[in-house]
Amino acid sequence: MHKRLFLARQSASFLGLTVLALLVTATSLRADVKLPTVFSDHMVLQQGMSVPVWGWADEGELVIVQYRDQVVQTRARNGKWQVKLAPMQASARPFNLRVLGNNRVELKNVVVGEVWVASGQSNMQWALRQTVNWQAAAAAAANPNLRLFYVPRVKSPAPVADLQGQYNNAKPAWTVASPETTPDFSAVAYFFGRDLQKARGVPVGIIHTSWGGSPAEVWMSERVLGGNPAYKKDILDAYPVAYKNFEAAKARFPEQLAKAKQAGAKTLPQAPREPWRPTELYNSMIHPLIPFAIKGAIWYQGESNAGRAWQYRTLFADMIQNWRQDWGQNFTFLTVQLAPFTKILPEPADSNWAELREAQILASKNVGNAGTVVITDVGEETNIHPQQKEPVGARLALQARKLAYGENLLASGPAFKSVSFSGGKATVAFTEVGQGLEARGGDLKGFAICGADGKFVWASAKIVGRDKVELSSSAVKQPVAVRFGWANYPVVNLWNKDGLPAHPFRTDSFPVTTQPKPAVAAKADKK
C-alpha cells in the first residue's frame, strides 16, 4: 500500500513539475492572453459535461489551461482560442484556474457544480431588497456554495464578443452569496439558487441577465428573426418605421408639453418612449456568455408581449431553441407564468394576459425539456411587480429538480387533463394532483362555462373524488367549454394538497383577442 502511495505521490509531483515547466515556458515565449468577463474569481464550472474555456490571444500563441489535475493546451487562431475541460464531478473544494500565454491569468476559489442563467424583464430584474421580508433573507444569505454573477445592462445593435459596461461601478465578477452581495441581486434568481443549492447539496452558480420592459424579440438573434418571414416583416422591418415615428414624436414633445402647462392641464403628456431594437439584448447580454457551460435557464418575462400573445406561441418557442442551438446544449428551460395584475372583473371576459399564459405553456410543451411555474396566488392588483418572490424561486427550484435532475417529486400544481359533458354538467379531470385536490379558503372559484353561444358565465364548482371538478350553471343548460383562471387578474383557489396552485386553462378553440383575423374577415372590416 505504501509503495502505491509513494508512486502516486511521485506521479503527482512529476505532473506538477511538468505543468510548472510548461507554464514557465509559455510565460516566457508567448504574448498576452485574455479571458471573457464571465470568467473570474469565485466562479462555478458546470459538472458532468465538457466545460469550454475560451478567450483571445495573438495569432498562433500557445495557450495552456490548468484546473485540478487537468492540463489542456491549444494555439490561438484568428486571435481566438478555446479548449474544453473534461467532465468533472461537483465539488465544493476550491481550486485555482490557471491560463497561461505570455502572461499568467489565475482565477481563485473556482468550484464545480450547477450553473443556471436567469433572464427576462422587470420581475426577474426585481432586486431582493425590493421584496417583502428582504432583510431577513439577506441576513441569512451567507453561503460559500452559492455564487452570483450580474450581467450589466447594455444594448448593442450587433453581437459583441465580451460583456460590456460595469456593475456597481466595477467590472462585473462572480461573488459569493452573503448579506452584502444579495440585496441588489435578482430576488427570483437568488431564491431559486438558494433552494436548489440546499436540495442538491453542491455548489450552484447563477448568471443573472435581465432588463425591465424588454420584449422577447430583443433576446433573440438576427439569424432566427430574419430566417422567419413573419418575424422579418412584423419585427425586423417594422423597427425602422417605429424608430422614425419615435424621433418625430420626440421632436414634437417639447411644444406639446409647453402648451399643456400653459393651458393648466391636470395631466401632462408623457415623453415618447424609444422602441426596443430587435436583437439588441441578445447581442450584448446573451451572445457574450456563449458557450459557457450551463445546466439550464429560468425565465420571467411576457408582460411586454401580452398584446401579441398569439405570436408569442411561436416567438417564445423559437427564442428557447435559438439559445439552445447557439449554446449547443438542449438545456432545461423553466418559465414563470405572468402574475395576476390589474382590475378584478366581476364577469368572465377576454384577456390577453390569459392568452400569454396559455402561450407560455404551449411553447414549453412544443420545445420539450421545459416547464412552467404558476403564481396565481402572488399577484397584486395595482402592482405589476408583486413583492412576493420567494414562492416563485421555490417553485422554479422544484421544477428544476424534477426536469433537470430527474428527482421523483411533484413539481406542478393541478393541470388540465380532459373534460366531459353530460346532464348539463362539465367534469374536468386533472393531472399533477398529488395527494388530491383542495379548495383553499372556501368554495371553488375561477371556473367559467359556456354553451353553444360562446358566452361564458361563472360556474358552481365542486371537487369530485381525488382528481376531478364538476361544474354547472343554471344559465347554461348544455355546456360545451370550460375556462379556469382566464383573466388578467384571476381569482382562483384550486390547489393540490401538496401546496401548489392549479394551472389556468381553457378547453375551447374560440378566436381570442390577439389572434390574427382571417384575410377575408380583415377585408370585410375595411368596407
- The set of residues, in sequence order, having a beta carbon less than 8 Å from that of 510 and lying 6+ positions away, is 454, 481
**Amino acid letter, 413:** G
In terms of C-beta density within 10 A (0-12 exposed, 13-18 middle, 19 or more buried), how is residue 301 classed? Answer: buried
pLDDT given for residue 426 in this prediction = 99
Given this structure, which CATH class describes domain 216-253+270-405?
Answer: alpha beta
For residue 285, give the DSSP letter: I
For residue 520, give the DSSP letter: H
Instruction: Give the residue ranges of DSSP H helices in 70-180.
Output: 122-125, 134-139
Q: 423: which 3 cell numbers?
A: 346532464
Closest CA to 279 of 160, 165, 156, 162: 156
Three-class secondary structure of residue 119 per DSSP: strand
* Tens place of pLDDT per residue across the chain (527 aa): 433 333 333 344 334 434 444 444 444 444 589 999 999 999 999 999 999 999 999 999 999 999 999 999 999 999 999 999 999 999 999 999 999 999 999 999 999 999 999 999 999 999 999 999 999 999 999 999 999 999 999 999 999 999 999 998 999 999 999 999 999 999 999 999 999 999 999 999 999 999 999 999 999 999 999 999 999 999 999 999 999 999 999 999 999 999 999 999 999 999 999 999 999 999 999 999 999 999 999 999 999 999 999 999 999 999 999 999 999 999 999 999 999 999 999 999 999 999 999 999 999 999 999 999 999 999 999 999 999 999 999 999 999 999 999 999 999 999 999 999 999 999 999 999 999 999 999 999 999 999 999 999 999 999 999 999 999 999 999 999 999 999 999 999 999 999 999 999 999 999 999 999 886 544 434 43
pLDDT given for residue 31 in this prediction = 56
Gap between the Cα atoms of 371 and 365, Å rounded: 8
pLDDT digits 0-9 by tens, 11-39: 443 344 344 444 444 444 445 899 999 99
Gap between the Cα atoms of 518 and 512, Å rounded: 12
pLDDT digits 0-9 by tens, 406-434: 999 999 999 999 999 999 999 999 999 99
Q: b/e per residue, 437-459, with b = 16+ CB within 10 A?
A: bbbeeeebbbbbbbbeeeebebb
For residue 242, give the DSSP letter: H
Gap between the Cα atoms of 184 and 175, Å rounded: 12
For residue 275, give the DSSP letter: P
Yes or no: say if 348 and 448 are a contact pair by the CB < 8 Å rule: yes
Rg of the chain over all Cα atoms, to the nearest angstrom = 27
User: What length is written for the chain?
Assistant: 527
Strand order in the sheet with 437-439: 437-439, 494-496, 500-501
pLDDT given for residue 123 in this prediction = 98
pLDDT given for residue 5 in this prediction = 37
Gap between the Cα atoms of 266 and 213, Å rounded: 27
Yes or no: say if 29 and 62 are a contact pair by the CB < 8 Å rule: yes
| CA-based torsion, 373, 374, 380, 383: positive or negative | positive
For residue 233, give the DSSP letter: I
Closest CA to 189 of 219, 153, 147, 220: 147
pLDDT given for residue 129 in this prediction = 98
pLDDT given for residue 518 in this prediction = 82
What is the share, in percent, of the chain residues with pLDDT greater than 70?
Answer: 92
Q: Which helix (H) or strand (E) holds 49?
A: none
pLDDT given for residue 32 in this prediction = 87
In sequence order, the β-bridge partners of residue 229 are: none
Strand 425-431 and strand 415-422: the pairing is: antiparallel
CATH 3.40.50 domain range(s) in the chain: 216-253+270-405
